[in-house]
Amino acid sequence: MYTHRVNYYETDKMGIVHHSNYIRFMEEARVQFFKDINFDYFELEKQGIFSPVVALNNCKYRKPTHFGDDILIDIKIKQYNGIRLVVQYKMFTNDTLVFEGESEHCFISQDGKLIKLDENNFGALHNKLTELVEK
């Protein structure tokens, strides 16, 4: 689980976190998640694999968060087939669900060509993502 402490600049005039920041929090948590499973984004990019966001889905803002709040972000791999990856996020403050959503990704080479991950092509990452898909 990743924790983000809300900064003052992430809030709006009403004193709550601006909705656009949750997308940044998703990215922070996703980058840390990949690092935690031993696939650091920097290393993946050095190996020529990039994973851009192609869609944001089912984003629901359940409760507001404020400056100084700790947001705990839980990540699950919802879908993965070697070409498409869907990551699910649930964010909590004081055990209260404040946000949930998904990001959808593909895998591309540095020149922008689609990559299919499989046993022969980035097999370790493919196997780990396959293992982590929520059943």
* Residues marked as catalytic: 12
Tell me the C-alpha distance between 67 and 51, whole Å: 31
Tell me the C-alpha distance between 27 and 135, whole Å: 23
Cα–Cα distances in Å, from 37 out to 59, 66, 94, 125, 127? Answer: 25, 30, 26, 9, 12
